[in-house]
């Protein structure tokens, strides 16, 4: 169950990478840091509104705080795209990557400056005694995380597959110029993609605040792992990102628990997984082979 | 005061070596590598471990530092450089963190977070070059920079350099001209790693101790800033960049304001430099060194 919840969180983050990569063919290095900002905003909102006593209000406050983090991150993601990436749309491939690294560094250090480097966590909002259902032990936090993750994934999948904007997103990622000719406002679609990806990242960040902890430099490692998840599943592929995230979460948890990999080297697992997948099946589990043309 | 300026110049030299390596891979091949800090760390630890644990002389450890760092460059480069450049960025980002992770946890060899102290000082023909007398060390470091600069400059002007630039401009066209793109990319990456290993070796001899905390992601970002600020594809420019970034980095101490200015301030500034340079002056302060043909790397429109 630990693996599933961790994997679900990775999957949510991986979706942001994959969606942006699908459309712009560029790795948004600041994604992990947008997540970090979102989780802090959620955490602060929750602390401000939850009140003293536990009750039905607590769970409402939890979701309001999550929403606040999502909205803030969505705005932040769009702003970053507008300021730091959009002017570079026609530049070389290297330029937006460098700019993204810069943004990532700015965000994590601003956070350390403003909020301190100490790690924080949601102060146990709910009763977290493990429940035993058919031999599997699961905590209420984990149930909450799984529910949020599943709802988010299903609604994203429906949104992308069924809605008009989703259709436009798919068209833009397939061929931006043709999409423009068909009357799709590509710039708006790109902004929406950033907003959705960032909101999902903020959700994941808030869940991390509930179950693990948040700190200003968390974005680097969390983002890296989620990116690996996206590559494992096949970058640019939404179902692939979900699959890759869950696989990676399971691999990390079982790697430590069953295979006896020392806890200190836990972060190495994702990295080794990346190298192996790049050697064996670089297009990812669900990805298509794309031949680059002149 | 003079001591302090010497200190900045010594660090400029050490970082200039790393920036020269980064320039080959980022400025010439146009690939983003984010792990000069990782190779820097490997070089430092090779020198530290060999000289402290096994009592091997510095002049023997320094080529070994280059070889070991280069070997790790090969290990990272081979799987990632066969593919599109983007994977290199992410793999190297991970690699830097993993190196630090391992240095922190492999107690038997690296002594964990405590690091390794009391590294023996360098001697040149029996004369000790102590880091406490900064002039001697300054000359030594800049001799390395000079050699590194000449080697890499020659390399970049040679057939190999032209091949690398061809790959940057258009990989598919380059490979149809018969350039083995993977091999050249991997070699460039390995050379860049090796020179960072040398820089690490020098840093170990300057501080006389190594700890994992000295090799954070910030080091890689600083090196990247040096290349971007000075001018990608121009070795003189990145050495200038190295000086400017080191100067910014030590500016608060230099004017005695280190209590007022929070340490994160300069890091935010480094991030801003990357973004602002990319938007307004992607060619850097000095710009790319001109060949006979006008450079077209930063032309508008790009390739479709």
pLDDT, tens digit (0-9, with 9 covering 90-100), for B129-184: 777 788 888 999 999 999 999 999 999 889 888 999 998 888 888 888 888 888 99
A204/chain B closest Cα distance in angstroms: 20
The predicted structure's pLDDT at residue B56: 87
Q: Which residues lie closer than 8 Å to A91 by C-beta, 6 or more apart?
A: B278, B282, B298, B300, B302
Does the structure show a pLDDT above 70 at B3?
yes
Q: Do A264 and B105 touch (CB under 8 A)?
A: yes
For B283, nearest residue in chain A (alpha carbons) = A95
Interface test with A, best of B77, B267, B274, B295 (most A CBs within 10 A): B274
A199/chain B closest Cα distance in angstroms: 22
Sites in chain A below the pLDDT cut of 50 = none
The predicted structure's pLDDT at residue B293: 47
Does the structure show a pLDDT above 50 at B303?
no
The predicted structure's pLDDT at residue B24: 93
C-alpha span between B300 and B290 (Å, rounded): 18
The predicted structure's pLDDT at residue A175: 86
A34/chain B closest Cα distance in angstroms: 15
The predicted structure's pLDDT at residue B300: 47
The distance between the two most distant Cα atoms of chain B, rounded to a whole number of Å, is: 60
Q: Do B224 and A101 touch (CB under 8 A)?
A: yes
Looking at this predicted complex, what is its ipTM? 0.86
Interface test with B, best of A278, A284, A293 (most B CBs within 10 A): A278
The predicted structure's pLDDT at residue A293: 53
Write the burial class of residue B221 (CB in 10 Å: 0-12 exposed, 13-18 middle, 19+ buried): buried
A99: contact with B, CB 8 A cutoff: yes
Look at strands B122-124 and B127-129 and give their pairing. antiparallel
A278: contact with B, CB 8 A cutoff: yes
B254/chain A closest Cα distance in angstroms: 22
Q: Do B83 and A271 touch (CB under 8 A)?
A: no
What is the rounded average pLDDT of the residues B45-63?
90
Interface test with B, best of A102, A267, A275, A277 (most B CBs within 10 A): A102
User: Cβ of A58: how many Cβ atoms within 10 Å?
Assistant: 15
The predicted structure's pLDDT at residue B290: 64
* Per-window interface: A 149-208 vs B, CB < 8 A: none
A60-to-A49, A73, A125, A199, B216 alpha-carbon distances in Å:
10, 20, 11, 19, 40
Q: Poorest-confidence range of B84-93, B174-183, B295-304? A: B295-304
Does the structure show a pLDDT above 50 at B304?
no
Does the structure show a pLDDT above 80 at B86?
no
B108/chain A closest Cα distance in angstroms: 14
The predicted structure's pLDDT at residue A289: 64
- Categorize the per-residue pLDDT at B291 as very low, low, confident or very high, splitting at 50, 70 and 90: low
The predicted structure's pLDDT at residue A196: 95
Of B82, B271, B279, the CB nearest to A109: B271
Better pLDDT: B56 or A255: B56
Bridge partners of residue B210, in order along the sequence: B116
Interface test with B, best of A33, A98, A113, A216 (most B CBs within 10 A): A98
| Cβ pairs bridging A and B (under 8 Å) | 141
The predicted structure's pLDDT at residue B181: 87
Of A106, A224, A279, the CB nearest to B271: A106
pTM: 0.87
CA–chain centroid gap for B34, Å, is 10
Where are any strands of DSSP class E within chain A?
Answer: 131-133, 136-138
The predicted structure's pLDDT at residue A279: 79
Does the structure show a pLDDT above 70 at B298?
no
């Amino acid at each position: 169950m630990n693996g599933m919840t961790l994997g679900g969180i990775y999957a949510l983050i991986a979706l942001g990478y994959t969606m942006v990569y699908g459309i712009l063919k560029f790795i948004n290095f600041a994604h992990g840091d947008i997540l970090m900002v979102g989780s802090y905003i959620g955490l602060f909102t929750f602390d401000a509104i939850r009140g003293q006593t536990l009750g039905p209000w607590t769970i409402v406050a939890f979701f309001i705080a999550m929403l606040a983090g999502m909205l803030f991150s969505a705005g932040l993601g769009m702003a970053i795209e507008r300021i730091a990436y959009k002017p570079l749309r026609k530049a070389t491939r290297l330029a937006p990557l460098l700019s993204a690294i810069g943004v990532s560094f700015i965000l994590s250090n601003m956070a350390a400056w403003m909020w301190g480097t100490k790690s924080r966590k949601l102060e146990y909002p709910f009763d977290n005694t493990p429940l035993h259902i058919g031999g599997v032990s699961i905590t209420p936090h984990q149930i909450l995380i799984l529910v949020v993750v599943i709802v988010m994934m299903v609604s994203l999948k429906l949104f992308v597959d069924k809605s008009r904007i989703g259709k436009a997103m798919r068209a833009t990622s397939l061929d931006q110029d043709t999409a423009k000719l068909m009357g799709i406002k590509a710039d708006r679609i790109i902004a929406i993609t950033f907003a959705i990806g960032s909101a999902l990242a903020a959700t994941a960040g808030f869940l991390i605040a509930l179950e693990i902890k948040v700190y200003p430099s968390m974005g680097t490692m969390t983002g890296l792992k989620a990116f690996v998840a996206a590559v494992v599943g096949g970058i640019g592929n939404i179902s692939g990102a979900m699959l890759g995230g869950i696989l990676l979460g399971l691999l990390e948890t079982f790697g430590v628990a069953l295979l006896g990999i020392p806890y200190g080297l836990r972060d190495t697992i994702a990295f080794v997984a990346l190298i192996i997948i790049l050697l064996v099946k670089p297009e990812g589990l669900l990805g298509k082979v794309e031949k680059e043309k002149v | 005061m003079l001591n302090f300026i010497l200190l900045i110049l010594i660090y400029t030299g050490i970082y200039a070596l790393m920036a020269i390596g980064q320039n080959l891979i980022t400025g010439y091949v146009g690939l983003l590598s984010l792990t000069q800090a990782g190779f820097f760390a490997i070089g430092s630890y090779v020198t530290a471990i060999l000289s402290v644990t096994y009592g091997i002389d510095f002049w023997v450890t320094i080529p070994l530092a280059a070889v070991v760092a280069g070997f790790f460059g090969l290990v990272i480069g081979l799987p990632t450089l066969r593919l599109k450049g983007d994977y290199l960025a992410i793999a190297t980002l991970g690699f830097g963190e993993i190196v630090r992770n391992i240095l922190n946890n492999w107690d038997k060899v690296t002594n964990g977070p405590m690091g390794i102290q009391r590294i023996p000082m360098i001697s040149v023909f029996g004369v000790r070059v102590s880091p406490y007398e900064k002039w001697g060390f300054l000359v030594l470091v800049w001799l390395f920079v000079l050699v590194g600069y000449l080697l890499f400059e020659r390399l970049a002007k040679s057939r190999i350099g032209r091949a690398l630039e061809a790959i940057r401009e258009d990989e598919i066209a380059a490979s149809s001209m018969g350039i083995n793109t993977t091999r050249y990319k991997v070699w460039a990456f390995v050379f860049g790693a090796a020179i960072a290993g040398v820089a690490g070796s020098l840093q170990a001899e300057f501080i006389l101790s190594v700890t994992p905390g000295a090799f954070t992601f910030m080091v890689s970002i600083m090196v990247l800033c040096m290349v971007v600020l000075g001018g990608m594809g121009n070795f003189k420019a990145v050495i200038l960049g190295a000086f400017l970034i080191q100067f910014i980095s030590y500016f608060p101490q230099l004017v005695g304001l280190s209590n007022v200015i929070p340490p994160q301030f300069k890091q935010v500034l480094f991030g801003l430099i990357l973004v602002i340079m990319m938007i307004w002056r992607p060619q850097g302060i000095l710009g790319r060194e001109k060949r006979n043909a006008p450079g077209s790397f930063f032309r508008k429109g790009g390739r479709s």
